[in-house]
């Protein structure tokens, strides 16, 4: 009985510390300025393939709505930044600095109707591991 209670408490602590570290993108994790810079970079580095309105084109998936949901939900933004850094643009991956990719991610979030807030998305790189797109 005593052991059972202990296990319960340990589990409870584990679960609460794991969830306490997560921050939802719905809580305003980028600034309007991030998204504006992201819009400019998206226009020059991504739009030819993914479309002006992120609607997708040919092999390039859309980055809003249903296709955004499929690729982004439940994942931390740090993972998304790494994937983009390592694979995009496909003909020259790795060419974009992290700061630019983070701005583009802010723009993608804005286009998926997540709100801007007071803190720049790139202000604290470690925080990107905690910011998650809710399911
Ligand atoms: C030359 C065309 C091209 C350009 C430029 C390009 N993409 Fe892509 N992108 C693709 C194609 C094709 C795919 C699907 C195949 C793949 O995942 O490699 C893709 C897939 C993706 C995915 C989904 C990856 C996943 O695993 O979930 C994301 C996110 C993405 N691109 C973001 C970007 C961003 C941001 C930029 C600009 C910095 C960009 N792409 C520039 C063609 C392009």
- pLDDT > 90: what percent of the chain? 84
pLDDT classification of 35: cutoffs 50, 70, 90: very high
Q: In the prediction, which pLDDT does 11 show? A: 52
What atom in ligand 1 is closest to the CA of residue 100? 38
* Average pLDDT of the residues in 116-131: 97
Under 8 Å between Cβ of 108 and 38: yes
* Average pLDDT of the residues in 69-79: 95
What is this structure's pTM? 0.88
Q: How far does the centroid of ligand 1 lie from the alpha carbon of residue 60, in Å?
A: 6
130 pLDDT more than 60? yes
Which residue segments constitute the domains of the chain, with CATH numbers given?
Answer: 30-132 (1.10.760.10)
13 pLDDT more than 70? no
């Amino acid at each position: 009985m005593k052991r059972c209670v202990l296990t319960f408490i340990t589990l409870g602590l584990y679960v609460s510390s794991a969830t306490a570290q997560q921050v939802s993108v719905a809580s305003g994790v980028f600034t309007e300025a991030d998204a504006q810079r992201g819009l400019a970079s998206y226009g020059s580095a991504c739009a030819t393939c993914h479309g002006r309105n992120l609607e997708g084109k040919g092999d390039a998936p859309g980055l809003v709505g249903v296709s955004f949901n499929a690729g982004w939900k439940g994942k931390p933004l740090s993972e998304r930044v790494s994937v983009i850094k390592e694979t995009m643009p496909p003909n020259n991956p790795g060419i974009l600095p992290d700061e630019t990719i983070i701005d583009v991610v802010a723009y993608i979030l804005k286009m998926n109707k997540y709100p801007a807030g007071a803190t720049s998305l790139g202000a604290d790189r470690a925080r990107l591991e905690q910011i998650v797109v809710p399911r």
